[in-house]
Structure 1
C-alpha cells in the first residue's frame, strides 16, 4: 500500500506533467473564402445528383467510382495542397478539409482515390525522391492512380513493430517475402505503400524497418480476398513471394520506416473520414423520420458531438498548415471520432423499434444504411490504430505512462 505522502507526490508529478505538455488545438478566425468554397462544392454535388453522377447509398462515401474520382481531379479537388509542379493546386489544408467534409457529408463515392489523396501523396511529398514525385503525384491528383496501405500482418494485432515481411538487398533492388493482411481495396488499386523489415531489430523493434512503393501487378504478388462480416470483399491478404522492388522505389531512407509511418498515420487519423463513416445514416434518419420530443434529446447529443469533432478536426488541419505534426491531437480526434461513428447506429437502433423497421415505418434507405452501419461499426475503432494504441499515445504525451 502507498502512503498518503507517496500518493501526494505521485499526484503532484502527474499534475506537473499535465501542465507541462498540454494537448493544444489551433483556432482559426472565420475566412470568407472557406464559406465560398463550401458553397461551390455543394453546388457541384447538387448538380452531380441531378445528372445521376451521385446517388444515395447505404454505404455512404465508402464506394469506389473511378469516373467520379477523375471528375474531382479535373476540378482540382484531389492533391489540393500539393505543389503545382507535381500536379497539385497549392490550396490550404483548411480548403482541403472543407472539400473533404462536403464530399463525405453527401456520401460521394470517393473510395477509389482516398488513400492516395489522404496519405500516400503527402508521404511522397515529405520523403519521396523527385523521380517518385513526378512519376506518381500528377496521376494521383488527376484521380487516375490509386493506393493501398501494406502495414498490418497476421498474428501482429496492433503491434506494428512485430512485422515479419522482409525485404532483402540484392543487385539493383530488394527481394520481398512475406504477407500483409486486412489490406483494404488491394484488389482494386494500382500501388501499395509497403512497410517491411530491412534490417535487424536492434535494441528497439522499431529499428530496421523501411517503406517501399510496390506496383501490385509485379510478378510474385498474390491478392487473396477476405470476406467481412457483411459478406463483402473489401479486405485482402497480399502475399509476396520473391517480389523484386527496384532501388528507385525505396521511400525515404532505409531504416527510417518507423518515423515515416508515424507521420503518415497523422494524415490517416485526423480527417473527417474518421468521424463521418456513419454520417449518412444520421442524415437519412433526420431526412426520413419524424423527430419528435421523445427522440430530440439523444439526436441532439449526436449532432453536438458531430459539431465538436468538426472543430477538432479543422484545428488539426490548421496545425498541419502551420507546419506542425499533431500526432497526439490526431490520435485524440481519431479516438473520439471512431467512438462517435459507432455510437450513431447504436443510438438510432434504439430509437427505432425492430417492428417499426420491419413494417417499413422508415424508408428503405435508412433501414439499409442502419443494417450496413451496424455490421461495419465494430471495425471503426480498429482501423487506423485501435483505441488502446491511441489512448496510449495520448497518455504518454501527458506523462501518464
Structure 2
C-alpha cells in the first residue's frame, strides 16, 4: 500500500473566538435568506458579500501579510469556509480566487504576478475561474486542445473551455492550455496561463441548468493576444502545477455541506412536529455521524497542507466520499418523505428538496468526476 495515512486531527481551540465572530457576522447577513436560496451557496455569487468579507480581513486568510493576506494557516480558512457553507452564504464570486488561484500564484508566479494579482484577491477586487475542461474531452484533461502560440507580443490563444464555474462573474481565468506538442503527447507540453477575461476575442456563454440558475459557462478564445507574463510557472509544467492546485480544490468542506440546508431544515421540521420514532432517530444519527467522519477527514487533509505536503490522493478520497454523501442525503430525505404521507411538509422544504434533486447529480462532476478520482485513488494505492 503506497498511500500514506493521515493523522487524526482537530482544529485548534484558539480559533473558537474567530468562529464566533464569523458566525455572528453571517447570522446578521443571512437572517432573511430562505433555505432554498441557501442551498445554492458556493454556486451563488454575491460580489457584495465577497467585498464585505474582504473588509473584515477574511479573504486571503492563508496568504502572506506582505501581499494583503492575514498570514494564517489552513485551519483558519477551514473554519471560515465551514461557517460560510453551513449557513448557505453565496460565496462563488471570490471562492476560487481565494481557495486556489491566489495560492497557485504565490507558489508558482513571478514577483510581478504576485504583487499585481494577490492583493486584489484579498481586497475582493479580482475574481478568478478555472479553465480546465474542454468540449468533447470530458474529464480527460490530458487531451486538451486549446493552444497558446508564442509571438512577438507574447502568446496568441485559441480554443475553448466548458463547465467553467462563474466565469461570467470573473475578471481572470487560470487556464491549462497546450504550448507545445500535440494532443497525442498527453501531459507533455501543457502550461498554465493567466487570462484577463476582458480581452478582445473572448466570448463567455452561460449555461442554464435545470433549476434555471447559471453558474457553468462555455468560454471561447479566438486569436486572443496575451502578454508575455501571462504564463504562470514553467512552460510545459502545467500538469504538475494543476495537480497541486487540485489538492486545494478537492480537500475543503465544500465537498461535505452542499446538502446541509436541506438536512438542517428537515431536522428543524422533525422537531417542530415532534417526530420521535426510532427509525427516524437512527437515520438522523447516521447522517450526522457520517458528516462528522467526513469533516475529520477534511481536517486531516488541512493538516497535511499545513505540513507542506501534497495530499492529492487523500483529497480525492474526501471529495469522492463527500459528494456521494451529499447526494445520499437528498435521496434518503426524499425516500423518508415518500414513506410518510402524514408528515406536514412545508413549502420551503419542498422548494429546497426540489432544487437539490435537480442539482445533486452535479456534485460528483464538479472538481473531478467520480471515475477520474477513483483512478487517482487506485494509483495511490498501487492498484494500477
Q: Per the shorter chain, which TM-score range? A: over 0.9
**Contact residue 79 and residue 89 of structure 1 kept, 8 A:** yes
The answer to whether 1:368 aligns with 2:351 is yes
- Partner residue of 1:136 out of 117, 130, 146: 117
| Equivalent pair of 1:60/1:278 in contact (CA under 8 Å) | no
Residue of structure 1 aligned with 2:8, choices 22, 27, 32: 27
Q: 1:22 to 1:208 in 2, by over 3 A?
A: closer
Q: Given the alignment, which residue of 112, 116, 139 partners 2:97?
A: 116
C-alpha deviation, 1:242, in angstroms: 0.1
CA contact (8 A) 1:58 1:365 kept: no
8 A contact 1:179–1:240 mirrored in 2: yes
* Cα offset, 1:167, TM superposition: 0.5
Question: Partners in 2 of 1:360 and 1:111 — Cα distance?
Answer: 35
**Which of residues 239, 264, 280 is equivalent to 1:295?**
280
CA contact (8 A) 1:165 1:179 kept: yes
Secondary structure of 2:168's counterpart equals: coil
Question: In terms of Rg, which structure is larger?
Answer: 1
Query: Offset at 1:38?
Result: 1.7
What are the equivalent positions in structure 2 for 1:2-401 lying under 5 Å apart? 18=1, 21-28=2-9, 31-50=12-31, 56=35, 57-62=37-42, 63-201=44-182, 204-289=185-270, 290=273, 291-293=275-277, 294-353=279-338, 356=341, 361-401=344-384
CA RMSD of aligned residues (A): 1.9
Report the more deviating stretch, 245-254 or 227-236.
227-236
Deviations 1:214-245 (A, max 9, x none): 11110001111222222322221111100011
Instruction: Tell me how far apart the structure 2 counterparts of residues 77 and 98 of structure 1 sit (CA, whole Å).
Output: 11
Q: Distance in 2 between matches of 1:200 and 1:49?
A: 50
Partners of 2:38 and 2:90 within 8 A in 1: no
Shift of 1:388: 1.1
Distance change in 2, residues 1:162/1:278 (3 Å): same
Q: Residue 360 and residue 192 in structure 1: after superposition, are their counterparts in 2 closer, same or farther (change >3 A)?
A: farther
1:349-381 residue CA offsets vs partner (Å, 9 max, x unmatched): 01113885xx99222222111111110111111
SS in 1 for 2:222: strand
Aligned length: 378
CA distance in 2, matches of 1:172, 1:326: 38
Residue 195 of structure 1 contacts residue 257 of structure 1 at CA under 8 Å; is this kept in 2? yes
Query: What TM-score results when the alignment is normalised by the length of structure 2?
Result: 0.94
Q: Give the whole-Å Cα distance in 2 for the aligned partners of 1:235 and 1:190.
A: 15
Give the 3-state SS of the residue equivalent to 1:225 in structure 2: strand
> What CA deviation, in whole Å up to 9, does each residue of 1:236-272 have, x standing for no partner?
1111100011111211011010001001111110101
Q: Is the 8 A contact 2:143 2:184 kept in 1?
A: no
C-alpha contact 2:142 2:183 (8 A) present in aligned 1: no
Q: Secondary structure of 2:199's match?
A: coil
- What are the ranges of 5 or more consecutive residues in structure 1 without an aligned counterpart? 1-17
Structure 1 pair 355/300, CA: closer, same or farther in 2 (3 Å)?
A: closer
Of stretches 220-229 and 89-98 in structure 1, the one that deviates more from structure 2 is 220-229
For residues 153 and 376 of structure 1, the distance between their equivalents in structure 2, rounded to whole angstroms, comes to 21
Give how far 1:82 is off. 0.5
Secondary structure of 2:100's counterpart equals helix
User: Aligned partners of 1:116, 1:216: CA distance in 2, in Å?
Assistant: 14
CA contact (8 A) 2:61 2:72 kept: yes
1:305, 1:28 → 2: CA distance? Answer: 16
Structure 2 gaps, min length 5? none
Q: 1:322: how far off?
A: 0.9
Q: Deviations over 1:188-213 (max 9, x none)?
A: 11111111100014985100011111
- Displacement of 1:30 in angstroms is 5.9
Do 1:123 and 1:264's aligned partners in 2 also have CA atoms closer than 8 Å? Answer: yes
For 1:149, what is the secondary structure of its paired residue?
strand
Q: Contact 2:146/2:177 (CA < 8 Å) preserved in 1?
A: yes
Alignment check: 8 A CA contact 1:58 1:366 kept:
no
TM-score for both structures, normalised by structure 1: 0.90
Return closer, same or farther for 1:215/1:202 CA change in 2, 3 Å cut-off.
closer
Distance 2:29 2:162 in 1: 36
More displaced 10-residue stretch of structure 1: 30-39 or 157-166: 30-39
